[in-house]
Structure 1
Amino acid sequence: MLLASPEELEAQTECFSPHALVRNYDGEGSEVPRGVVCWVGVLITDSMNAVISVGGRTSDAHDVTMNGLLSALDKAEALVESRKEGVC
């Protein structure tokens, strides 16, 4: 796990090389660092809404659960593994 401010994110992820990124989402600065195949942008509201992107497919999730977030991370892991094996 790596904690970084939006300003430090690009430099920090170059050293850390994560496949997944979870962050606060305000609709701005949606650039995804190179190598990240899954990102989750959590909207700071009264409910747990998020924008989830895996492999370039983005969707809105309303009242997302921890299982929903873990499912996205599982899909990202499968995508990374398939790329290692040359499937994609």
Structure 2
Amino acid sequence: MNQQKLDDVFSYHPPSNHMIAGSHEAIRDGCKALSAILNTYVPEGHEKEKAIDALREAMYWSNAGIACSSINAQTWLGEDPLNLGAISG
């Protein structure tokens, strides 16, 4: 991996506009809603911990993908394509 790529990976990528910030929020809200379902229905134990860890990782990589995308401003139009507001709201 070249140094420019490493510099990019380990840099902060602030939301470029309110629509991108909304994308991050939608991901967090969806993961939070799923975490509540997992917490309710999965018995305590190693498997539940692994499921929550996997969800946290999915949230991380999803938000990283949004933040690091050079075309993210064109990708999200501030809409709620999965109707996540209905789940979290």
Q: Which category describes the TM-score, using the shorter chain as reference length?
A: 0.3 to 0.5
- Rg larger in structure: 2
Which structure carries more relative contact order (alpha carbon 8 Å, separation 6+)? 2
TM superposition score normalised by structure 1 = 0.32
More strand per residue: 1 or 2? 1
